[in-house]
Chain A
């Protein structure tokens, strides 16, 4: 770490001139993203099957609730928004971590078996153990995601350390085996199939806050871990040998990053079900905006991912009013056109 700082400090002064405006631009962008997120959070509380004006929201936050609108805010809209924020942050950061870790700008946090582990555990819980509530699924999903990710890490690691390609292939293999077993269980048991098709869609509605609180400390730990390894991950982007030459402990960095990733993606999946695409797209787009520095990518991902999730959730409430579309389905419809438009405009970005 010391060495890293020294190299940065010793950067030639001639090159210091151009980065300053760029750094300012990135900072302004970050503030803009934060403002967008705050606006979206307010909108998420306001908009729904019944629109609620801002003064009522304010009232409901400060005073004990009295009117139905205020109850709706306290018990439904506000928890939903907070859950969206937490899940979005976790998904965005886990996506940034996996893309940095595998040096693959298109890696998805599910690639190391997080989703496969979580859905397999939930299927077992539903099909064989008869668990029937979303709260009951949560710990199964979290445990499944963690166990499977650690298994993939163990499989993809040799005494010499792990290579990203082997790690990814191991994740795909474990995911496939579990996926097949899960599908066999589901096709044999209509009840499990029925429960799983709802869980599979991924939603942030109907998750009371007191159920979600216990997951948040895990997110906090993972957040600290992620930013701690962001510097070493920058060095790892140059390749393992160069990273070692710069004083980075490659194996330790990888293990810490995978643990952070498992906590974030596993926790998000446990709360909301498998929400695909956010973790893939947001860090990818963030890299187009800010360049290859992981710390900036992490920062942008943390703000942009919950924005995408909240926009999708709001749209999901509005489009089929009074019905709703689960947010996991809407994210792809909001995100994919943006991604396609960007890739057609931009020159493709490697890592």
Chain B
């Protein structure tokens, strides 16, 4: 027998999907925003598949994707351009979620995986491989992952003293990052100019030369990690209230936090391995998503959609605006920073 559920007014319209014992409550605004972002993503993806030194029409692209075309057109769309577009989508989403995890975990709008030293550490690892060992691509990826992971673990261990506290983690992270940043500057200063420039280009992050192999492997890792992030995201909302309040709500704070940090770092590490550290998406996507969907705190889903769109659009611009292609990281910074600035500006105006 069903007793009528008391209606709770959450102050915003919600969409409840119920099937048996499982119910999912979504906010209408989030649903609408994510749908709009999906449409924008599809449009940008088709545009990116059309444009290149051999221009195609939208019909050709769509029929190539659905299997209608054969031969050269199919080759261009599916084998050459699609891996890059998919990579931009998946990696962008991963970076957005990773940033959202760190920002709500540390309750700091400027937090990202860089805060526990991952970015600087992976750059140091890559620089050592490029400048000192002079190794190939596999070695470069290995060096970057090793450097990043070792730094993140080091920061966590240094900040551990009867449990890790968010603030101490940030301070230790800043200190260690500053040291590694100085070391990076020094390595670049001592290097030969050509090598230093190629290292800097890697450091800006680029999707040049991404192949299906990397996309499939990276995509599988990222899908698994995103699923994990989704299951861990419920305590995240309680952790946003503060450690004590979360503990009072029955969240096991320390293990949950460690798990979330691991997922966040692993997401960034996967992207770094495939494309180099693409800057700024993890910082800016959660903020943009939060402002578009007007959610109470930082939420993962809008951050993922915004991250994907930002990465895809930036990669499109990076390939086509300059005479020679730029690293995508250079454009994400300009596009993301500019858009967040615009949002802040209009928000400030509205509050007058």
Residues on A lying within 8 angstroms of B by beta carbon are 106, 155-160, 165-166, 168-170, 172-177, 179-181, 183-184, 186-188, 190, 193-194, 197-198, 200-201, 276-277, 280-281, 325-326, 328-333, 335-337, 339-340, 343-344, 348
Contact = CB atoms under 8 A, between A and B. Distances in A.
A197 B189 contact: yes
Nearest to A329: B182
B330 A336 contact: no
Contacts of B337: 172-177, 179-180
Looking at B171, B329, B330, B332, the one whose CB has the most chain A CB atoms below 10 A away is: B171
Contacts of A328: 182, 185
B162 to A, nearest CB: 11
Given A187-B197, A187-B326, A194-B193, A173 B178 contact: no
B280 interface: yes
A344 B161 contact: yes
Given A106-B174, A332-B179, 12 more contacts: A157-B348, A158-B348, A168-B110, A176-B284, A180-B331, A183-B327, A184-B322, A197-B188, A276-B178, A329-B186, A333-B179, A335-B178
Contacts of A329: 182-183, 185-186, 189
A187 B203 CA distance: 11
Interchain residue pairs A-B with the least CB separation, the first 6: A176-B337, A173-B341, A180-B333, A336-B175, A180-B334, A332-B178
B171 A348 contact: yes
Given A173-B341, A193-B196, A158 B349 contact: yes
Contact of A177 (B283, B287, B333): B333
A348 B163 CA distance: 14
A183 B170 CA distance: 27
Contacts of A160: 351-352
A135 to B, nearest CB: 21
B172 interface: yes
Contacts of A106: 170-171, 174
B329 to A, nearest CB: 8
A169 B336 CA distance: 12
B204 interface: yes
Contact of A340 (B158, B182, B349): B158
Contacts, number: 147
A166 B327 CA distance: 29
Interface size class of B (residues with CB under 8 A): 35 or more
B251 interface: no
Given A188-B322, A197-B189, A343-B172, A155 B280 contact: no
23 contacts: A155-B341, A155-B344, A156-B344, A159-B352, A166-B347, A170-B344, A175-B337, A180-B331, A180-B333, A183-B330, A187-B204, A188-B322, A188-B324, A201-B186, A276-B181, A280-B174, A280-B178, A328-B182, A332-B179, A339-B174, A340-B158, A343-B159, A344-B168
B338 interface: yes
Interface string B254-268: 000000000000000
Contacts of B159: 343-344
Nearest to A175: B337
Contacts of A157: 348
A193 B193 contact: yes
B340 interface: yes
Interface in B278-325: 280, 283-284, 287, 322, 324
Nearest to A326: B189
A175 B338 CA distance: 10
A37 B215 CA distance: 56
B197 A343 contact: no
B176 interface: yes
Looking at A325, A326, A332, the one whose CB has the most chain B CB atoms below 10 A away is: A332
A336 B176 contact: yes
B301 to A, nearest CB: 22
Looking at B158, B185, B336, B351, the one whose CB has the most chain A CB atoms below 10 A away is: B185
A102 to B, nearest CB: 11
